[in-house]
Amino acid sequence: MKIIFIGSPTSEEFYMGISKQIDFNNLINRSLTKIYGFAKKEKIKNIVFNNLSDKNKSLAKFLLKKNFVRLESLATTMLEIKARSMEEYFEGLSKNMRKDLKRKLRRSAELATLKTEIRENVDDIIDRIYELYLNNFNDSDVHFEILTRDFFKNICGNMPGVAKYFITYDNDKIVAFNLCLVQGNLFIDKFIGFDKEVALKYHLYFTTFCHNLEWCIKNDIRFYQPGTTDYYPKIRLGAELVPLYIFARSLNPILHTIVKLTARWIEPKNLDSTLRDIEELKRTKHLKQDLL
Protein backbone atom coordinates (compact mmCIF):
# COMPACT_ATOMS: atom_id res chain seq x y z
CA MET A 1 0.00 0.00 0.00
CA LYS A 2 1.55 3.30 -1.08
CA ILE A 3 1.47 6.13 1.48
CA ILE A 4 2.74 9.71 1.34
CA PHE A 5 4.31 10.54 4.71
CA ILE A 6 4.61 14.28 5.35
CA GLY A 7 7.01 15.14 8.15
CA SER A 8 10.65 14.77 9.15
CA PRO A 9 12.46 11.43 8.74
CA THR A 10 15.04 12.36 11.38
CA SER A 11 13.40 14.49 14.07
CA GLU A 12 11.03 13.02 16.64
CA GLU A 13 8.27 15.56 15.95
CA PHE A 14 6.68 17.30 12.97
CA TYR A 15 8.32 20.60 12.02
CA MET A 16 7.03 23.18 9.58
CA GLY A 17 8.23 26.69 8.81
CA ILE A 18 5.82 29.30 7.43
CA SER A 19 6.37 33.05 7.18
CA LYS A 20 4.15 35.13 9.46
CA GLN A 21 3.30 37.31 6.46
CA ILE A 22 1.63 34.37 4.67
CA ASP A 23 -2.04 33.41 5.12
CA PHE A 24 -1.73 30.06 6.91
CA ASN A 25 -5.00 28.43 5.82
CA ASN A 26 -4.61 29.54 2.22
CA LEU A 27 -1.08 28.17 2.02
CA ILE A 28 -1.98 24.79 3.56
CA ASN A 29 -5.01 24.52 1.30
CA ARG A 30 -2.84 25.15 -1.77
CA SER A 31 -0.25 22.69 -0.49
CA LEU A 32 -2.90 19.98 -0.08
CA THR A 33 -4.06 20.60 -3.64
CA LYS A 34 -0.50 19.97 -4.84
CA ILE A 35 -0.22 16.85 -2.65
CA TYR A 36 -3.52 15.45 -3.96
CA GLY A 37 -2.34 16.08 -7.52
CA PHE A 38 0.94 14.28 -6.88
CA ALA A 39 -0.90 11.37 -5.23
CA LYS A 40 -3.24 11.01 -8.20
CA LYS A 41 -0.34 11.08 -10.67
CA GLU A 42 1.62 8.45 -8.71
CA LYS A 43 -1.51 6.36 -7.95
CA ILE A 44 -1.11 6.81 -4.20
CA LYS A 45 -4.32 6.54 -2.18
CA ASN A 46 -3.15 7.38 1.35
CA ILE A 47 -1.76 10.59 2.87
CA VAL A 48 -0.31 10.90 6.37
CA PHE A 49 0.88 13.95 8.29
CA ASN A 50 3.25 12.28 10.73
CA ASN A 51 3.94 12.97 14.42
CA LEU A 52 2.22 16.29 15.02
CA SER A 53 2.53 17.57 18.60
CA ASP A 54 0.57 20.16 20.55
CA LYS A 55 2.78 22.78 18.85
CA ASN A 56 0.89 22.12 15.60
CA LYS A 57 -2.63 22.99 16.76
CA SER A 58 -3.41 25.27 13.80
CA LEU A 59 -2.42 22.61 11.29
CA ALA A 60 -4.29 19.90 13.21
CA LYS A 61 -7.46 21.98 13.27
CA PHE A 62 -7.21 22.64 9.54
CA LEU A 63 -6.63 18.96 8.68
CA LEU A 64 -9.66 17.87 10.68
CA LYS A 65 -11.78 20.29 8.64
CA LYS A 66 -10.36 18.62 5.51
CA ASN A 67 -11.67 15.22 6.63
CA PHE A 68 -8.37 13.86 7.95
CA VAL A 69 -8.64 11.35 10.80
CA ARG A 70 -6.59 11.92 13.96
CA LEU A 71 -4.84 8.86 15.40
CA GLU A 72 -2.51 8.66 18.36
CA SER A 73 1.09 7.88 17.44
CA LEU A 74 3.79 6.44 19.69
CA ALA A 75 4.69 9.15 22.18
CA THR A 76 8.19 10.54 22.27
CA THR A 77 10.00 11.61 25.45
CA MET A 78 11.72 14.81 26.54
CA LEU A 79 14.05 15.59 29.42
CA GLU A 80 14.44 19.27 30.28
CA ILE A 81 17.97 19.67 31.61
CA LYS A 82 17.91 21.98 34.61
CA ALA A 83 21.00 20.59 36.36
CA ARG A 84 24.36 22.27 35.86
CA SER A 85 26.36 19.15 36.76
CA MET A 86 25.85 15.39 36.83
CA GLU A 87 25.84 15.44 40.61
CA GLU A 88 23.01 17.97 40.55
CA TYR A 89 21.17 15.77 38.02
CA PHE A 90 21.53 12.75 40.33
CA GLU A 91 20.12 14.77 43.21
CA GLY A 92 17.01 15.52 41.17
CA LEU A 93 16.18 11.83 40.75
CA SER A 94 14.17 9.81 43.22
CA LYS A 95 16.15 8.16 46.02
CA ASN A 96 15.63 4.67 44.56
CA MET A 97 16.56 5.68 41.04
CA ARG A 98 19.61 7.66 42.17
CA LYS A 99 20.87 4.67 44.14
CA ASP A 100 20.16 2.26 41.29
CA LEU A 101 21.79 4.45 38.62
CA LYS A 102 24.94 5.09 40.64
CA ARG A 103 25.21 1.35 41.34
CA LYS A 104 24.95 0.57 37.62
CA LEU A 105 27.61 3.16 36.72
CA ARG A 106 29.92 1.95 39.47
CA ARG A 107 29.50 -1.67 38.37
CA SER A 108 30.17 -0.74 34.75
CA ALA A 109 33.38 1.08 35.74
CA GLU A 110 34.55 -2.02 37.65
CA LEU A 111 34.02 -4.33 34.68
CA ALA A 112 35.14 -2.20 31.74
CA THR A 113 37.29 0.74 30.74
CA LEU A 114 34.71 2.72 28.80
CA LYS A 115 35.49 5.88 26.89
CA THR A 116 33.38 7.96 24.51
CA GLU A 117 34.54 9.46 21.24
CA ILE A 118 32.50 11.98 19.25
CA ARG A 119 32.84 11.64 15.47
CA GLU A 120 31.29 13.05 12.31
CA ASN A 121 33.02 10.64 9.96
CA VAL A 122 32.55 6.91 10.49
CA ASP A 123 33.72 5.51 7.14
CA ASP A 124 36.36 3.34 8.80
CA ILE A 125 33.97 1.84 11.38
CA ILE A 126 30.71 1.75 9.41
CA ASP A 127 30.56 -2.06 9.35
CA ARG A 128 30.69 -2.21 13.16
CA ILE A 129 28.09 0.56 13.53
CA TYR A 130 25.69 -1.22 11.20
CA GLU A 131 26.24 -4.51 13.02
CA LEU A 132 25.32 -2.86 16.34
CA TYR A 133 22.29 -1.14 14.77
CA LEU A 134 21.00 -4.49 13.51
CA ASN A 135 21.48 -5.97 16.99
CA ASN A 136 19.04 -3.44 18.42
CA PHE A 137 16.70 -3.57 15.44
CA ASN A 138 16.33 -7.34 15.63
CA ASP A 139 15.84 -7.31 19.41
CA SER A 140 13.18 -4.60 19.36
CA ASP A 141 9.47 -5.42 19.69
CA VAL A 142 8.56 -2.33 17.65
CA HIS A 143 9.80 -2.15 14.05
CA PHE A 144 9.46 0.64 11.53
CA GLU A 145 11.63 0.85 8.43
CA ILE A 146 15.01 -0.84 8.40
CA LEU A 147 17.68 1.73 7.62
CA THR A 148 20.51 1.08 5.19
CA ARG A 149 24.23 0.99 5.80
CA ASP A 150 24.58 4.04 3.54
CA PHE A 151 22.17 6.01 5.73
CA PHE A 152 24.52 5.69 8.70
CA LYS A 153 27.57 6.34 6.54
CA ASN A 154 26.23 9.50 4.87
CA ILE A 155 24.05 11.25 7.46
CA CYS A 156 26.85 13.34 8.97
CA GLY A 157 27.83 14.61 5.53
CA ASN A 158 24.20 15.35 4.73
CA MET A 159 23.64 17.13 8.07
CA PRO A 160 27.03 18.73 8.84
CA GLY A 161 27.38 20.05 12.37
CA VAL A 162 24.04 18.52 13.35
CA ALA A 163 24.50 14.74 13.13
CA LYS A 164 27.11 13.37 15.54
CA TYR A 165 28.16 9.87 16.54
CA PHE A 166 28.91 9.16 20.18
CA ILE A 167 31.05 6.01 19.99
CA THR A 168 31.64 4.01 23.19
CA TYR A 169 34.76 1.85 23.43
CA ASP A 170 35.81 -0.80 25.89
CA ASN A 171 39.56 -0.40 25.47
CA ASP A 172 39.84 -0.62 21.64
CA LYS A 173 36.57 -2.44 20.97
CA ILE A 174 33.43 -0.52 19.96
CA VAL A 175 30.62 -1.72 22.21
CA ALA A 176 27.98 0.98 21.57
CA PHE A 177 27.06 3.92 19.40
CA ASN A 178 24.51 6.71 19.65
CA LEU A 179 23.63 8.65 16.50
CA CYS A 180 22.51 12.04 17.81
CA LEU A 181 21.19 15.23 16.24
CA VAL A 182 22.11 18.54 17.86
CA GLN A 183 20.49 21.81 16.87
CA GLY A 184 20.29 24.89 19.10
CA ASN A 185 19.08 23.82 22.56
CA LEU A 186 17.84 20.39 21.41
CA PHE A 187 19.71 17.07 21.56
CA ILE A 188 17.94 14.12 19.90
CA ASP A 189 19.29 10.67 20.78
CA LYS A 190 17.99 9.15 17.53
CA PHE A 191 19.53 5.70 16.98
CA ILE A 192 21.50 3.39 19.24
CA GLY A 193 23.33 0.10 18.91
CA PHE A 194 24.86 -2.14 21.57
CA ASP A 195 27.17 -5.13 21.67
CA LYS A 196 24.81 -7.90 22.78
CA GLU A 197 27.55 -9.77 24.64
CA VAL A 198 28.18 -6.96 27.13
CA ALA A 199 25.16 -4.63 26.90
CA LEU A 200 23.50 -5.84 30.09
CA LYS A 201 26.72 -6.59 31.96
CA TYR A 202 28.10 -3.09 31.36
CA HIS A 203 24.67 -1.40 31.68
CA LEU A 204 25.36 0.29 28.35
CA TYR A 205 21.92 1.87 28.08
CA PHE A 206 22.50 3.83 31.28
CA THR A 207 26.22 4.53 30.83
CA THR A 208 25.74 5.96 27.33
CA PHE A 209 22.75 7.99 28.50
CA CYS A 210 24.86 9.56 31.25
CA HIS A 211 27.77 10.23 28.86
CA ASN A 212 25.40 12.03 26.49
CA LEU A 213 23.68 13.94 29.25
CA GLU A 214 27.01 15.10 30.67
CA TRP A 215 27.98 16.35 27.19
CA CYS A 216 24.68 18.26 27.00
CA ILE A 217 25.31 19.90 30.37
CA LYS A 218 28.82 20.95 29.39
CA ASN A 219 27.54 22.39 26.09
CA ASP A 220 24.54 24.22 27.58
CA ILE A 221 21.95 22.04 25.83
CA ARG A 222 18.58 22.47 27.51
CA PHE A 223 16.47 19.62 26.09
CA TYR A 224 17.42 15.96 25.71
CA GLN A 225 15.01 13.89 23.59
CA PRO A 226 15.65 10.14 24.04
CA GLY A 227 12.83 9.18 21.68
CA THR A 228 10.11 6.54 21.55
CA THR A 229 9.76 3.07 23.11
CA ASP A 230 11.53 1.83 26.27
CA TYR A 231 9.38 4.27 28.23
CA TYR A 232 9.96 2.93 31.74
CA PRO A 233 13.72 3.63 31.98
CA LYS A 234 13.33 7.02 30.26
CA ILE A 235 10.67 8.16 32.73
CA ARG A 236 12.77 6.89 35.63
CA LEU A 237 15.68 8.94 34.27
CA GLY A 238 13.57 12.10 34.39
CA ALA A 239 11.97 12.31 30.94
CA GLU A 240 8.33 13.18 30.31
CA LEU A 241 6.03 11.68 27.70
CA VAL A 242 5.24 13.96 24.74
CA PRO A 243 2.02 12.89 22.95
CA LEU A 244 2.22 12.72 19.16
CA TYR A 245 -0.53 12.35 16.58
CA ILE A 246 -0.97 11.13 13.03
CA PHE A 247 -3.47 12.78 10.70
CA ALA A 248 -4.45 10.39 7.92
CA ARG A 249 -6.70 10.50 4.92
CA SER A 250 -7.35 7.86 2.30
CA LEU A 251 -8.48 9.01 -1.12
CA ASN A 252 -10.35 5.71 -1.34
CA PRO A 253 -13.74 6.47 0.33
CA ILE A 254 -14.28 2.90 1.54
CA LEU A 255 -10.82 2.62 3.09
CA HIS A 256 -11.17 6.07 4.64
CA THR A 257 -14.42 5.01 6.32
CA ILE A 258 -12.68 1.92 7.70
CA VAL A 259 -9.86 4.08 9.11
CA LYS A 260 -12.38 6.40 10.80
CA LEU A 261 -14.24 3.47 12.36
CA THR A 262 -11.12 1.67 13.61
CA ALA A 263 -9.02 4.68 14.71
CA ARG A 264 -9.76 4.28 18.43
CA TRP A 265 -8.79 0.60 18.37
CA ILE A 266 -5.37 1.04 16.79
CA GLU A 267 -3.99 3.56 19.26
CA PRO A 268 -0.46 2.72 20.48
CA LYS A 269 -1.64 2.11 24.05
CA ASN A 270 -3.81 -0.73 22.70
CA LEU A 271 -0.81 -2.27 20.96
CA ASP A 272 2.01 -1.50 23.43
CA SER A 273 1.55 -2.97 26.91
CA THR A 274 4.05 -0.55 28.43
CA LEU A 275 2.13 2.49 27.20
CA ARG A 276 -1.10 0.93 28.45
CA ASP A 277 0.41 0.41 31.91
CA ILE A 278 1.71 4.01 31.95
CA GLU A 279 -1.71 5.30 30.92
CA GLU A 280 -3.31 3.42 33.82
CA LEU A 281 -0.71 4.68 36.30
CA LYS A 282 -1.30 8.26 35.09
CA ARG A 283 -5.03 7.81 35.47
CA THR A 284 -4.64 6.60 39.04
CA LYS A 285 -2.00 9.28 39.79
CA HIS A 286 0.60 6.69 40.83
CA LEU A 287 3.00 7.11 37.89
CA LYS A 288 6.02 8.54 39.72
CA GLN A 289 5.51 6.40 42.80
CA ASP A 290 5.24 3.12 40.85
CA LEU A 291 8.00 3.83 38.35
CA LEU A 292 10.56 5.53 40.58
d(CA 118, CA 67): 46
Average pLDDT, the chain: 89
Q: What percent of the chain has pLDDT over 90?
A: 71
Residues 173-186: tens digit of each pLDDT: 999 999 999 999 99
Architecture of domain 77-240: 3-Layer(aba) Sandwich (3.40)
Q: Which residue has the higher pLDDT, 272 or 30?
A: 30
Write down the domain spans for the chain: 3-75+243-284, 77-240
Q: Quick check: 268 pLDDT over 70?
A: no
| pTM for the predicted model, two decimal places | 0.84
E-only strand ranges, the chain:
3-6, 46-52, 69-72, 76-80, 114-119, 163-170, 173-183, 186-194, 223-225, 240-242, 245-250
Q: What is the pLDDT of residue 256?
A: 87
Which residues does 178 contact at the CB level (< 8 Å), separation at least 6?
Answer: 165, 166, 168, 189, 191, 192, 208, 212
Q: What is the pLDDT of residue 259?
A: 82
Q: Residue 123's pLDDT band (boundaries 50, 70, 90)?
A: very high
